[in-house]
Structure 1
Amino acid sequence: MTNTKLVFDPFSREFFDGPYDIYRRMREEAPVYYSEEYDFYALSRHEDVAPAYRDFDTYSSARGIDLATVREGQIPPHKSIIVLDPPEHRHMRRLVSKVFTPRAIAELHDMAAEQIDRFLAQVNPDGFDMVADFSALFPIEIISRMLGVPEESRTQVRLWTDDLLQREVGQMEMSDVGYNAVVELARFYYGLTALRRKDPVDDMISKLTQAEIERDDDEPPTLSNMEIAMFASLLGGAGAETVAKLIGGAPVTFARFPDQWKKLQEDRGKIPDAVEELLRFESPNQYNVRYSMKEVTLHGVTIPAGKPVFLMLGSANRDPEAFTDADTFDIDRDRSEAQNLAFGLGIHSCLGAALARMESAIALDRILDFMPEFEVDVENCTRVNMQNVAGYEHVPVRVRR
């Protein structure tokens, strides 16, 4: 047992640079952790995090999913699906799920592969940045094409998304740059939605303007321009960041566990398993924040009603009580041991999970061909400072000849 005080600060350099030692102590010493500095609680064990994701009656999303928003307590008038509880969430989820059917995702395969090939062909094998030169580029291109974002706007959409997630050390609130990015994204997608409503084409936003939704109020059965804009902003960000961080950090993980890279080289059929293990081992989304609707007691600690509660899926996915040798990266892991929480669970599980898995599998397959042997400049790898999202900002790589 260490004598140092256990401190979990989601805005600290220690957290941004890799929180797994902190998570281990939280699971062992304070499975229901209370932050005196920020006045929040945090659940870190798989046995607590998984059911909490399903229990929306106790842990509500209606006040947001980040600490600053939940603490502020103001429910926005224009809601994104990610901050809806049933029954509103059920109606919206049922509608947007129609554009994420297995058939719809399968139809995107060739386009996704084409974009991945295009961006990979542009990198210099003698030295490139896996994130900046590759993994940060193709996911936003794919999701933007799916939504219907014009080509000339796709880079700007990615930059706005990065700005709204960015947090400096010690910074809980969104910066002025971040707020501006939120406004600009909403304005952009609102304008695009209005355009597609008048002149629809074959893209997701056009389909959403034409769809009807069941409601429990007197609002029209169609989605408003702002509702579609909020959904597009969410999907454009989440759909790009997850894959960007997953593939961007993959060389670092495989460099640490070279035997697993060799397994993939010998059997490409293991690629889907490798994607699942990357998601578990270095979850791009590390946590979501909920609002406690009622008092709940776990492990002798009572969480009062009306408090922010961190659901630490990044910790749960490394819980040795749930996963054998949890800190070992093993693509042959028994998937029946426990639920991988990388995409959440329950009503707020990620709508784009199948698309993210498909993109990641294609990218891994192409990387195996492009760099069967490689070196990572570990000393110059840097991690992002972002809310909820973890991963690398720069991963210098060189292909061995």
Structure 2
Amino acid sequence: MAATTTGMQTAIPFDPYSYAFHEDPYPTYTRLRTEAPVYYNSDGDFWALSRHADVAAGFRDNVRLSNSWGVSMDPTSYNPHAEKAMSFLAMDDPRHLRLRKLVSKGFTPRRVSELSTRITDLTAQHWDKCLQMGEFDYIADFAGLLPMDVVSELLGVGEADRAHLRIQSDLLIHREEGVTDVPEAAIYAYLELHRYYTELLVDRRKNLGDDMVSALLSAEMPDDDGTLAKLTDDEIIGFMMLMVVAGNETTTKLLANSVFWGNRNRGELTKVLADPSEQQVSDWVEETLRYDTSSQMLLRRVIEDVEFGDYTIEAGQRILLLVGSANRDEDVFGADADQYRLGRGTERTILSFGLGTHFCLGAHLARLETNIGLDQLARTVRSYDIDEAGAERVHSVNVRGFARLPMTVQAR
């Protein structure tokens, strides 16, 4: 391995923990796709795939490429018990399929669609306050509130607890500069979230309602031996932990990335503000998902030798699937893949929600929330401005977005 990969990381430095990389990963991705599409980093002892075809193949190969140790590079998180924090995202079939089917009973498209009216009401509630202020922090006052409210309503979390849970959620994904593992604050945040959801589950078991947790407690399906299987407490708590990040953080980042890149590309933004139709808003969301997706990279553990390009990656190795890079691949999205252009029609080719058996269960909900949120913005403002000098990025290996995004709006 060393003989065939010598010089890769020297020629193309790639550190997923680097704050400089977080500011703009795309030049690195371009070099990786061009010069080393199958990349090995000996310092971090990981491989990385950057081209669309390879990343898509990696998603589809759920036999040789395993999720069972989680999808994060953090040494503390990468272990056989990753499912405690990542639920079925850190499982392989058949366990993954069993749990996903059971969870799906409480996460049906009908249940999600029924949320549409409630999401619209929550959006108006938060956005009206922003319009009245005129100048505000888009994250603290809107994008960070809406997804947490939606997840909380699904799980039956009271309004008084949501701000506390959002703080813990932010701490959970934040990574300290120069530290290549889970910081102490994130560990304490995990323990606090686990404690909270354990107590919520105990209470809900005594007081069943019409929320998703109650549905998960009641969900059952035939096991291999014909008996009816139910979710264990650990499985339900693991799913709630997953919802905090997958259902909250990534949608917050998608809402913010959309307005940031709209601000940077005024010609494209004008199309939406001049004609805030359902299609224009949807195009805005889809191009943001492609151009600067919230979920930048996901890890896989090789459990059986696999070939990519001219390389054989051996069992026991780790592979990063660089989703952010795949979504900018010129071979799939054209020579202008590095340009932000609405109306590409790339919904079926972007890899922002994965592919195959692990395709994101919450993809429909994330799109629904973001479309409703941006629709409300587009219909109520003549223009807006982002104070980029005051913006602060989130520093995370997997998630890309903003922790702070000052905004000024001119209402219609």
TM-score by length of 2: 0.91
User: What aligned pairs does 1:79-118 form with structure 2 within 5 A after superposition?
Assistant: 80-118=87-125
Match of 1:56 in 2: 62
Return the offset for 1:275: 1.1
Match of 1:376 in 2: 386
> Are residue 351 (structure 1) and residue 358 (structure 2) matched?
no
Cα–Cα, structure 1 residues 126 and 141, in superposed 2: closer, same or farther, change >3 Å?
same
Q: Deviations over 1:272-319 (max 9, x none)?
A: 222111111110000110101122222222212101110010110011
Equivalent in 18, 21, 28 of residue 27 of structure 2? 21
Equivalent in 161, 167, 192 of residue 184 of structure 1? 192
Secondary structure at the counterpart of residue 47 of structure 2:
strand
> When the two structures are aligned, how many residues end up with a matched partner?
398
Secondary structure at the counterpart of residue 372 of structure 1:
strand
Secondary structure at the counterpart of residue 375 of structure 1:
strand
Secondary structure at the counterpart of residue 319 of structure 2:
strand
Match of 1:135 in 2: 143
Match of 1:194 in 2: 202
Secondary structure at the counterpart of residue 106 of structure 2:
helix
Cα–Cα, structure 1 residues 375 and 343, in superposed 2: closer, same or farther, change >3 Å?
same
Return the offset for 1:363: 0.7
Distance of 1:286 and 1:327 partners within structure 2? 16
Cα–Cα, structure 1 residues 214 and 81, in superposed 2: closer, same or farther, change >3 Å?
farther
The AA in structure 1 aligned to 2:97 is R
Distance of 2:358 and 2:72 partners within structure 1? 14
Cα–Cα, structure 1 residues 168 and 311, in superposed 2: closer, same or farther, change >3 Å?
same
> Are residue 9 (structure 1) and residue 15 (structure 2) matched?
yes
Cα–Cα, structure 1 residues 72 and 357, in superposed 2: closer, same or farther, change >3 Å?
closer
Match of 1:158 in 2: 166
Return the offset for 1:56: 1.0
Distance of 2:83 and 2:58 partners within structure 1? 26
8 Å contact 2:46–2:320 — kept in the other structure?
Answer: yes
Secondary structure at the counterpart of residue 240 of structure 2:
helix
Cα–Cα, structure 1 residues 301 and 95, in superposed 2: closer, same or farther, change >3 Å?
same
Secondary structure at the counterpart of residue 310 of structure 1:
strand
Return the offset for 1:226: 1.5
Distance of 1:31 and 1:263 partners within structure 2? 35
8 Å contact 2:295–2:399 — kept in the other structure?
Answer: yes
The AA in structure 1 aligned to 2:237 is A
Return the offset for 1:387: 2.8
% of aligned pairs identical?
Answer: 37
8 Å contact 1:80–1:230 — kept in the other structure?
Answer: yes
Return the offset for 1:32: 1.0
Equivalent in 312, 320, 332 of residue 322 of structure 2? 312
Cα–Cα, structure 1 residues 58 and 263, in superposed 2: closer, same or farther, change >3 Å?
same
Return the offset for 1:251: 2.1
Match of 2:237 in 1: 229
The AA in structure 2 aligned to 1:230 is G
Secondary structure at the counterpart of residue 115 of structure 1:
helix
Equivalent in 340, 347, 372 of residue 329 of structure 1? 340
The AA in structure 2 aligned to 1:27 is R
Secondary structure at the counterpart of residue 220 of structure 2:
coil
Cα–Cα, structure 1 residues 101 and 394, in superposed 2: closer, same or farther, change >3 Å?
same
Secondary structure at the counterpart of residue 398 of structure 1:
strand
Return the offset for 1:372: 2.2
8 Å contact 2:258–2:284 — kept in the other structure?
Answer: no
Secondary structure at the counterpart of residue 103 of structure 2:
helix
Match of 1:301 in 2: 311
Match of 1:146 in 2: 154
TM-score by length of 1: 0.94
Distance of 1:232 and 1:314 partners within structure 2? 26
8 Å contact 2:82–2:90 — kept in the other structure?
Answer: no
Give ranges in structure 2 of 5+ residues lacking alignment.
Answer: 1-8
The AA in structure 2 aligned to 1:32 is V
8 Å contact 1:213–1:223 — kept in the other structure?
Answer: no
Return the offset for 1:220: 7.3
Match of 2:74 in 1: 68
User: What aligned pairs does 1:283-302 form with structure 2 within 5 A after superposition?
Assistant: 283-302=293-312
